[in-house]
Amino acid sequence: MSGLQQISQLASNILQSSNNELRTESEKALMAMRDSNPNELVVLFLSLLESKSLLNQQLHGVVFIDGLNLT
């Protein structure tokens, strides 16, 4: 699975799953990626933002702009 697909899957899990444990684990994985390689994560998220077919708009708003907390 490519980095883009991996993040897409993690982000989807966070927003769409009704399983608390799955959401928690997905968030932890995403935050771990953020801490270990922020540059790659930001570039991947910008790719996600362009290829919006991968994710729905809510996901962009919650995960990309708020969750990643670029600013």
Partner 1 sequence: MTQLRKNLSVFTQTSFKNIWSLLNAETQEFTKQKLFEVLHKEQDHTLRRQIADTIGEIAGSVLSEKADAWPKFVEYIWALFGTNTPNASVSAFNILETFLSYAPDVFTKHRNELYAVFKNSLIHSDIKIKSAGLKALSTHLQVLETKEMTIYEDLVLPIYEAAYYLLIQDSGNDEGL
Which residues of the chain form contacts with partner 1 (CB under 8 A)? 14-15, 20, 23-24, 27, 31, 34-35, 38-39, 42-43, 46, 49-50, 52, 57-58, 60-62, 65-71
Quote the CA–CA distance of 50 and 52 in Å, as a whole number: 6
The residue to which tokens 């991947």 are assigned? 44
CB of 11 to partner 1, least distance (A): 11
> Least distance in Å: CB of 2 to partner 1?
18
- Which CB atom, from 6 or from 23, has the smaller least distance to partner 1? 23
